[in-house]
Structure 1
Amino acid sequence: MTERATLLIVDDTAENLDVLTGLFKTDYQVKAAKSGKIAIKLAQMVPQPNLILLDIMMPELDGYQVCEILKSQPNTAHIPIIFVTAKISPEDEIKGLSLGAVDYITKPITPAVAMQRVQTQLALYNQKQALYLKVKEQTSEINHSKIEMVKRLGRAAEYKDNETGMHVLRMSHYCHVLALACGMSLEDSDVLREAAPMHDIGKIGIPDAVLLKPGKLDAEEWEVMKTHVDIGVDILGDTSGSKLLKMAAQVAQSHHEKWDGSGYPQGLIGEQIPLVARIGAVADVFDALTSERPYKQPWSVDRTVELLIEEKGRHFEPDLVDLFIGNLEKILEIKNKFRD
């Protein structure tokens, strides 16, 4: 039996929520939100809604603002949004569509029209997903060559850092699991898996006397080490024409940032840090700790998980730690598959 799609209905008026919930509850799973802030939280929760019906005229955050926020975040940008509103001038319609909405339903609701438009947009979204998988399959040889080149570029930095090169493979696959778990689309999760191997590419530019020093770095050496972030971004160059390079640059630049703002290079706090970099931070630290290095023995998985939990809200985003631990079985399969 096919699982029913989930609709998120957003309206600050209880009567409107009741009308729409009553219309769709027979054919769909329905979640309801009476404010834009609640809607954003529900859209990010797993499992995510397959489609959002969004009122425009709401206090605090109106529908346009909610749409803009959801479309700006990698883990919610792919969810189709239909505005439900009595405010429907041509200018309003153009504004909503320019923000990323896919359609409008006008109030008062005509049930047959509303049902048809929801069905149409869900079908289009499913077709888009199917098309992506088909294109991915048909271009697998080209993609394989591209991904191999990216992996080798990332491994170059790891070899210079006395690592085996398997680190970048494990870390990138951990990122893929975590990206899917937090709601990123399959396409964007695949791109992150391809981009993550370049997270420390800037280490190529760090002098061996600093990079390979067996003891603790002094303050001056540490400042030199931190420049690998800027070097990596510089190596990746102009990313404007490539989603892969743009995502790689975000991970390279920000995966050493910390949720509480104590990281580097910019001291970003919380959601100021790009989601892909927050994902990369969890994946990178887990693999670094559980791997053997010339200067240390590997930590046990249990000890490493304890540290991830301790660092929730400090080093790492709490929700991502929970999702990582919730997918630990998949993580350990990857760890075993790409052993040093």
Structure 2
Amino acid sequence: MFFTKEEKPTILIVDDAPDNLTIAREILKNIYKIKVATNGIKALSIATASPPDLILLDVIMPQMDGYEVCKLLKHQSKTADIPIIFLTAKSSIEDEEKGLALGAVDYIIKPLSPPVLLSRIHNHLELKRTRDLLKNKNQYLEAEVARQVKEISLIQEVSIVAMAALAEARDNETGLHIHRTKEYVKELSLYLKHKGKFIDILTDKNINLIVKSAPLHDIGKVGIPDSILLKPGRLTTEEFEIMKTHTTIGKNAISLAESMLKRESENFLQFAKEIAFCHHEKWDGSGYPNGLIGKSIPLSARIMAVADVYDALISTRVYKKAFPHAMAVSIIKNDSGKHFDPVIIDAFIALEKNFQAISIQ
């Protein structure tokens, strides 16, 4: 709350005695805008309809005393921040403590001393201005932080999409594969979290990053020659060895980008690197590039492996026809504990209808 030179703060005076209202009004009328109420009910109505900048509140009133009025004002968001000064003839410490405990900012004993009243009102209005200024600054800072977080998130997504587009540009079958596998990964991750699996890794933040990173699983294929990448037939042993290097190429490309970030352990490319490098590892250790076994394979890559293989099976490729959904599910189920993490396969089986729906979008 900020006032220009032309503005006057509004003071609401609440007292059932006309003489007291007249005295307070005479003291304040040349400095402040004045509103009056002769009982608590009217005070609540006025304060709620058009909140004043400060309230002078009598304690002893019929129907509803000042303590009850103060309590009700403090329980309404619209009036909770209005400074309340009790004006009363009740001078015991207990009475003062009760008023302050209810949220009043001050307690002035009648009869009123004009210098004391003016000084107290001025001080509390200044304090409120300061609080409002800090509140506005905090709100601005919170909004700015939220804006920057959103901007960083957008930059992350754009960076990933741009990198994934490199792989897509090399292979016209890649685009829909990237979209579908991302959706499969999301389904699996959310289901596993819901079932209480891998809760130390599958936080909301990490799931978001894993899903965003999924499109980069084959980014390394940009380094594979067209004669191998687009070959319309089975690869030779030598060609397959070259094809396998796309995992290392992908990891190295992401690591290069990662090295430019100041806080490697917290950056958004960590899962992308895991997925690109390890999504062809197998649960029984027969995969590549490092023959990792079981839980030594990063969880993000184990999830990606199921999504990648399912989509490869149900999709037409230059070297194969698409398999029916039921056949793809059967093949993947049979590889539980061999190619795939059994826990993730349980999730896949529970979600197979969701996978099928995604596959035909």
Q: TM-score range by the shorter chain?
A: 0.5 to 0.7
Shift of the alpha carbon at 1:272? 0.8
Alpha carbons of structure 1 residues 203 and 278: separation in structure 2 relative to 1, 3 Å: same
Alpha carbons of structure 1 residues 242 and 333: separation in structure 2 relative to 1, 3 Å: farther
Alpha carbons of structure 1 residues 312 and 193: separation in structure 2 relative to 1, 3 Å: same
Q: Name the aligned partner's letter for residue 280 of structure 1.
A: M
Aligned counterpart, 1:172: 182
Alpha carbons of structure 1 residues 299 and 137: separation in structure 2 relative to 1, 3 Å: farther
Alpha carbons of structure 1 residues 319 and 218: separation in structure 2 relative to 1, 3 Å: same
Shift of the alpha carbon at 1:145? 5.0
Deviations along 1:138-182, whole A, 9 cap, x unmatched? 955653453143123213213313414111111112111111222
- Are 1:278 and 1:317, in contact at CA under 8 Å, matched by a contact in 2? yes
SS at match of 1:256: coil
Aligned counterpart, 2:315: 291
**Fraction of identical pairs, as percent:** 43
- What's the C-alpha RMSD, in Å, of the aligned pairs? 2.1
Give the Cα–Cα distance (whole angstroms) in 1 for the partners of residues 291 and 344 of structure 2. Answer: 19
- Are 2:329 and 2:352, in contact at CA under 8 Å, matched by a contact in 1? no
SS at match of 2:347: helix
Give the Cα–Cα distance (whole angstroms) in 2 for the partners of residues 215 and 333 of structure 1. Answer: 29
Give the Cα–Cα distance (whole angstroms) in 2 for the partners of residues 137 and 319 of structure 1. Answer: 38
* Deviating more after overlay: 185-194 vs 287-296: 287-296
Gaps of 5+ in 1: 1-134
Greater than 6 Å deviation, 4+ residue runs: 135-138
Q: 1:163 aligns with which of 154, 157, 173?
A: 173
Alpha carbons of structure 1 residues 335 and 140: separation in structure 2 relative to 1, 3 Å: farther
Structure-2-length-normalised TM-score? 0.52
Aligned counterpart, 1:28: none
Write out aligned runs for 1:228-307 (5 A): 228-238=246-256, 239=258, 240=264, 242-307=266-331
Give the Cα–Cα distance (whole angstroms) in 2 for the partners of residues 242 and 142 of structure 1. Answer: 13
Alpha carbons of structure 1 residues 268 and 197: separation in structure 2 relative to 1, 3 Å: same
Aligned counterpart, 2:219: 201
Q: Name the aligned partner's letter for residue 146 of structure 1.
A: Q
Give the Cα–Cα distance (whole angstroms) in 1 for the partners of residues 220 and 324 of structure 2. Answer: 29
Deviations along 1:261-313, whole A, 9 cap, x unmatched? 00000000111101110000000001111112233221111000000111011
Larger radius of gyration: 2
- Are 2:148 and 1:143 aligned? no
Aligned residues: 203
Write out aligned runs for 1:313-324 (5 A): 313-324=337-348
- Are 1:255 and 1:278, in contact at CA under 8 Å, matched by a contact in 2? yes
- Are 1:255 and 1:277, in contact at CA under 8 Å, matched by a contact in 2? yes
Alpha carbons of structure 1 residues 332 and 155: separation in structure 2 relative to 1, 3 Å: farther
- Are 1:151 and 1:169, in contact at CA under 8 Å, matched by a contact in 2? no
Q: 2:349 aligns with which of 300, 318, 325?
A: 325
- Are 2:244 and 1:220 aligned? no
Alpha carbons of structure 1 residues 299 and 185: separation in structure 2 relative to 1, 3 Å: same
Give the Cα–Cα distance (whole angstroms) in 2 for the partners of residues 137 and 312 of structure 1. Answer: 44
- Are 1:196 and 1:251, in contact at CA under 8 Å, matched by a contact in 2? yes
Give the Cα–Cα distance (whole angstroms) in 1 for the partners of residues 225 and 307 of structure 2. Answer: 26
Aligned counterpart, 2:26: none
Shift of the alpha carbon at 1:211? 1.3
Q: Name the aligned partner's letter for residue 286 of structure 2.
A: S
More RCO (CA 8 Å, sep 6+): 1
SS at match of 2:268: helix
Give the Cα–Cα distance (whole angstroms) in 1 for the partners of residues 175 and 153 of structure 2. Answer: 20
- Are 1:161 and 1:203, in contact at CA under 8 Å, matched by a contact in 2? no
SS at match of 1:237: helix
* Deviating more after overlay: 303-312 vs 209-218: 209-218
Give the Cα–Cα distance (whole angstroms) in 1 for the partners of residues 320 and 146 of structure 2. Answer: 40
- Are 1:151 and 1:168, in contact at CA under 8 Å, matched by a contact in 2? no
Give the Cα–Cα distance (whole angstroms) in 1 for the partners of residues 331 and 146 of structure 2. Answer: 37
